[in-house]
């Protein structure tokens, strides 16, 4: 995978990933891997979508298409023969096709900047029965290529004057405002989706949900014995008088 340099890097060095405890999570802990997904597989069909301003001169279109989105023979056909810069419908259609091509070429790994979010524990950690993995981005350069997600009322706009890097960054960091409770940040790369190895030292903590079964906790702790140093263990506790998750350090017992 080709990782991208950080722009608008998150200020916190701690990154959190909520997980249900299943065979995939246990294998991920055992092998020190993170899963990179295609935006096309996200649970939100509006994720990684942009609006497009197709206006531009022939020269601007030529420069844009030569950024490497599509092969040169197609560029020549679009610019020289079909005069795309004078055909608004064709321009919009081609831009949409280009955006879909870029969207499918990216792979993304998502984190939260929060470890005590009630909705996140509910939605992504099996109703508080799962875990939240804590990563230190300073322990692995892959985790330093991290971008804040921007939560928007409407699709962010791009033009053909934007560079390929600008378009990819805006594409992968734009999400509907309804999701802002996630406080999400993302790493993205070009390549195939799949598992990526990370430095084992980068996982610095494991938080067990307030309803995590003992047998699942033991499965996770058993895998952590191979880690040097062993990540710290925490428990997410409820409060009796507030809608609040409290994270406290705990032992293996």
Q: Smallest Cα–Cα separation from 228: which of 195, 197, 202?
A: 202
The answer to whether 79 and 62 are in contact (CB under 8 A) is yes
- Choice between 74 and 57, residue whose per-residue pLDDT is larger: 57
pLDDT tens, residue by residue, 5-29: 544 554 458 999 999 999 999 999 9
Confidence check: pLDDT of 132 > 80:
yes
Domain ranges of the chain: 2-47+105-250
Confidence check: pLDDT of 251 > 80:
no
In this predicted structure, what is the pLDDT of residue 242?
94
pLDDT tens, residue by residue, 229-246: 999 999 999 999 999 999
Angle between helices 88-105 and 164-172 (to 10 degrees): 70
Angle ∠(11,173,75) on CA atoms, nearest 5:
135
**Average of pLDDT values for 64-83?**
59
pLDDT tens, residue by residue, 183-206: 999 998 877 889 999 999 999 999
């Amino acid at each position: 995978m080709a990782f991208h340099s950080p722009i608008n890097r998150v200020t916190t060095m701690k990154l959190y990933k909520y997980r249900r405890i299943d065979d995939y999570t246990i294998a991920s802990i055992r092998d020190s891997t993170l899963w990179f997904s295609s935006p096309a597989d996200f649970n939100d069909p509006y994720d990684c979508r942009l609006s497009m301003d197709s206006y531009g001169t022939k020269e601007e279109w030529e420069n844009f298409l030569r950024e490497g989105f599509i092969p040169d023979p197609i560029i020549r056909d679009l610019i020289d023969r079909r005069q795309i810069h004078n055909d608004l419908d064709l321009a919009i259609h081609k831009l949409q096709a280009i955006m879909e091509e870029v969207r499918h070429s990216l792979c993304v790994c998502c984190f939260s900047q929060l470890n005590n979010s009630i909705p996140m524990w509910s939605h992504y950690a099996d109703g508080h029965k799962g875990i939240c993995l804590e990563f230190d981005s300073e322990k692995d350069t892959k985790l330093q290529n991290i971008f804040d997600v921007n939560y928007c009322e409407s699709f962010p706009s791009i033009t053909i004057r934007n560079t390929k890097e600008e378009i990819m960054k805006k594409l992968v960091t734009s999400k509907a405002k309804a999701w802002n409770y996630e406080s999400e940040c993302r790493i993205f790369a070009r390549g195939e989706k799949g598992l990526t190895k990370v430095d084992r030292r980068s996982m610095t903590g494991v938080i067990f949900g307030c309803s995590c079964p003992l047998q699942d906790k033991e499965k996770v702790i058993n895998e952590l014995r191979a880690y040097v140093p062993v990540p710290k263990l925490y428990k997410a506790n409820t409060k009796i008088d507030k809608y609040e998750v409290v994270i406290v350090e705990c032992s293996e017992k």
